[in-house]
Amino acid sequence: MRALNRRLKDLAAEGAEITVTNPGARHNTGVGIFHPCKINIEGSVGYYSASMIDGPEITIHGNAGWALGENMMSGKIVLTKDAGASVASTIRGGEVFVGGNVGARAGISMKGGALIVKGNSGFLTGFMMQKGRIIVCGDAGEAVGDSMYEGEIYVAGNVGSLGNDAVVEDASEDELLDVWATLERYGIAERPTFTKIVSGKKLYHMDSLERLEKAAI
Amino acid sequence: MVTDRSQVWSPWTIDDIHAKAELGRYRIRGFSTFQKVTHFDDLTFLSTGLTRFPLEGYKEKCNTRTVLGALNAENPLVIETPIYITGMSYGALSANAKTALGKAATMVGTASCTGDGGMLQAERAASEKLIYQVLPSRYGFNPHHLAQAQAVEIVVGQGAKPGTGGMLMGVKVLDEIAEMRDLPTGIDQRSPARHPDWLGPDDLAVKIEQLREATDWSVPIHVKLGACRVTDDVKLAAKAGADGIVIDSMVAGTGASAEVLLDHSGIPTVPAIVMAREALRELGLYRKVSLIASGGIRSGADAAKALALGADAVAIGIAALIALNCNKEIPESDFMSEVGVPAGSCHHCHTGKCPVGITTQDPELMKRLDPDEGAERVANFINSMTMEMALLTRSLGKGDVHSLEPEDLAALTIEASAMAQIPLVGTNKVFGT
C-alpha cells in the first residue's frame, strides 16, 4: 500500500489520469492526495480509501469499507456500489456520491461538502454534523441528524426516527431545485420529494449557568 | 475521633448541594481534580552512599536528550529534554498563550502540541517541533497541517475527563474559534467522545496505517489514553501499532470539565505509569514503544520519578501555564474582583475570565500576556526542571536520565508502595504483591 500511495501521489502531482487495477479491497487506498487529478479504481476498496484528499476526482468501481473519503478537503468521489460505516465522515469540502447503500454514521461530523446516497443509509446518519448537505434518495435508519449543529439532511424515503434535537423543516422550492440538480449531475433524473432535517438548536447552550459563568457572558 | 463538625457534610459539600439545587445540572470547572491521591511526593530517591558513587552534581555531563516514537517512523521525535508541552487547544487558551508555549518549546529544544480545535498558525511558526493531535471532534483537522507535523497523537481519552470529549463554553467560542472549528459562534461546545471513523482497536490499527500513509511513514504516531483500564488499553494501543503511548492520569489538567468527571474518574499518575510499563513489557515492547506520562508533573523531581518508574518522557500542561503566570497576581489583574477567588485558588479557566490572559479569548484580557516574556518564563521553567532531573540523576551515580529505574526509588507510604510496586522505606516489602 505504501508503494501504491507513493506512486499515486507522484502521478497526481503531475496531474495525470490514473487507473488502478486489482485494488484487492485493501485499506487506505489513495490516502493524502493533494493535487487535482483523475483516478479510476477498477474494483472494491477497504477502509479509509480516498481519505484526507484535497483536489482529486476519484471513481471507484466497486464497494468501499468504512470511512470512505474521510476528512476530504475538496474533490469528488464516486462509488458505484455500497459503502460501509462512516462514509464521508468529517469531510470539509467536496462531494461524495454513493451509487448503492451506505452503513451507519454516514456523514458523521461533516464540516462541509456534500454526501449523496442513491440508496439507503444506516443509523445515526449525520450524527453531530456541523455543516454541509446529506442527500439520501432511499430510506434513512434510526436517529437521523442526532445532535447536529448546522447543515441539512434530505431523505426521500422513510426516516427511521429523528435523532436528539433534529427537527423537520419545510424545504423551499429553491432548495429542492438545487437538490434535484445535484442528483441530475449523477444521472438521477427522478425528482422525489424530500424530508428536510435540520438542527433544533436546543443543544447549543447549557440550560443554566452558575453565577460566574453568567458574569462571563 | 469525634470532631466539632460533620466530616461527611463538610462546608464544601453543603455548598455543592446548594449550587446544584439552583443550577439543575452538573457543575463545570477548569484546572484539575480536587481529589487527594497518591502522587510523586509519596516516593523518594535513594541517592548514593558507600554502595555506589555519585557524579558531580553541578558539572558532569548528564544526558537528557530523548528519542520518541522510533519504532516505525523514519524521523522519530528527538527532543533535548524528556519534558514536552502537552496538547491544549487554541480556544481553551489564548493565541498569545499558544504562541508563547510554542516559542518556549523551541527555546529549549522540545515540542509543543496542538489540542482540540486545529492548528494555530502562530504556534506552528513558533514551534519547531509540533505534535499534531487527531481528536474525536476533528475540529479544524487539516491533512496539510498533519503533513507538517513532527509527530501525530491520536487522542482516545483525556485523563481529566476520560470517556468524554472536550468542552468549551460559549463565552470562548468567538468568531475565529467558531470558524476554525466549523461551529456556530457562541455555542457551548461539547465535543464528541467517540472517534467518527473508528471504534475498536482493530479499527485503530487501520487508522494508524492511514495516518502513516498520509505522513509518508515519516513521523511517529502516538496514542493518548486517559488512565483507567491501563493494562488492557496500553496493550491494545501497542498491538494496533502505536509508536508511542501517552498515559494521561486523573491528576491531569483541563480547561473545562464536568466536576464529577474530574474528581471521580481515572487513576493517578504513579500506578498508571507502572501498569503501562508492565503491559508493554509483557508484549516485549517496553523501551520500543515510547511511554509518555502526563498528569500533575510539577517539577524535575516529579519528572525524574516518572522516568524512574518507566516513562521515556513526560508532558506538562498546568505547570507550563503556571509558568506563564496562571494564578499569579500581576499589576493588571485583580483576581478577587475578576473571578471571585484569590490568586493561587483560581480554577475558572472555563469562564474565559482569566485575569492573566491565558485561558481567555477576551482581547483585553489577552493583552495581559506578552508571548515573548511568557515564552521566556516557560523556557526557564523547563530548563529548571531539566536541571533538577539531571541533578537527581547524578546524585544517583548515573549520567543519563533514561538510566533511572524503579530500584532508585523508595515509597514513603504503604499506598505508594502498592501503587508504584516499590518497597516501603525501612522495609524490603512491596505492598500489594
Note whether residue B20 is domain-resident: no
pLDDT digits (tens, 9 = 90+) for B375-429: 999 999 999 999 999 999 999 999 999 999 999 999 999 999 999 999 999 999 9
- Which range of residues forms the domain containing residue B189? 39-326+369-405
Q: Measured between beta carbons, which residues in chain B are less than 8 angstroms from residue A27?
A: 206, 209-210
**Minimal C-alpha gap between A192 and chain B (Å):** 30
The SS3 call for residue A41 is strand
Q: Give residue B300's pLDDT.
A: 98
Q: Does the beta carbon of A120 lie under 8 angstroms from any beta carbon of chain B?
A: no
Q: Give residue A65's pLDDT.
A: 98
How many Cβ contacts (< 8 angstroms) between chains A and B? 128
Give me the residue label for grid cell 495516518. Answer: B211
Contact present, A180 and A161 (Cβ < 8 Å): no
Structural domains of chain B, count: 1
Nearest residue on chain B to A124, alpha-carbon basis = B196
Q: Give residue A210's pLDDT.
A: 74
Q: Give residue A86's pLDDT.
A: 98
CB pair distance less than 8 Å for A47 and B171:
no
Task: Indicate if the pLDDT at residue A216 is higher than 70.
Answer: no
Please report, for the domain that includes residue B202, its CATH number.
Answer: 3.20.20.70
CB pair distance less than 8 Å for A108 and B137:
no
Task: Point out the residues of chain B with pLDDT beneath 70.
Answer: none
Nearest residue on chain A to B203, alpha-carbon basis = A47
Q: Which of A1, A128, A205 sits opposite B192 (nearest CB)?
A: A128
CB pair distance less than 8 Å for B196 and A54:
no
Residues 6+ apart with CB under 8 A from B131: B77, B84, B87, B111, B112, B113, B114, B149, B150, B151, B152, B153, B222
Separation between Cα atoms, residue B59 and residue A49, nearest integer Å: 55
- Which range of residues forms the domain containing residue A127? 2-216
Q: Give residue A212's pLDDT.
A: 67
Q: Report chain A's mean pLDDT, rounded to a whole number.
A: 96
**Minimal C-alpha gap between A129 and chain B (Å):** 10
Please report, for the domain that includes residue A52, its CATH number.
Answer: 2.160.20.60
Q: Which of B138, B143, B213 sits opposite A1 (nearest CB)?
A: B213
Q: Which of A53, A70, A212 sits opposite B339 (nearest CB)?
A: A212
Q: Which of B210, B348, B353 sits opposite A48 (nearest CB)?
A: B210
pLDDT digits (tens, 9 = 90+) for A152-205: 999 999 999 999 999 999 999 999 999 999 999 999 999 999 999 999 999 999
CB pair distance less than 8 Å for A216 and B207:
no
Write out the three cell numbers for A210. Answer: 452558575
CB pair distance less than 8 Å for A52 and B198:
no
What DSSP state is assigned to residue A95? E
Structural domains of chain A, count: 1
Separation between Cα atoms, residue A124 and residue A105, nearest integer Å: 5
Note whether residue B67 is domain-resident: yes
Q: Give residue A206's pLDDT.
A: 83
Q: Which of residues 174-233 of B touch A (CB under 8 A)?
A: 181-184, 186-188, 192, 196-198, 203, 206-207, 209-210, 212-217
Separation between Cα atoms, residue B432 and residue B421, nearest integer Å: 8
Note whether residue B375 is domain-resident: yes
Write out the three cell numbers for B156. Answer: 482516545
Separation between Cα atoms, residue B142 and residue A70, nearest integer Å: 11
Q: Give residue B326's pLDDT.
A: 98
What DSSP state is assigned to residue A140? B
Task: Indicate if the pLDDT at residue A208 is higher than 90.
Answer: no
pLDDT digits (tens, 9 = 90+) for B146-204: 999 999 999 999 999 999 999 999 999 999 999 999 999 999 999 999 999 999 999 99
Q: Does the beta carbon of A26 lie under 8 angstroms from any beta carbon of chain B?
A: no
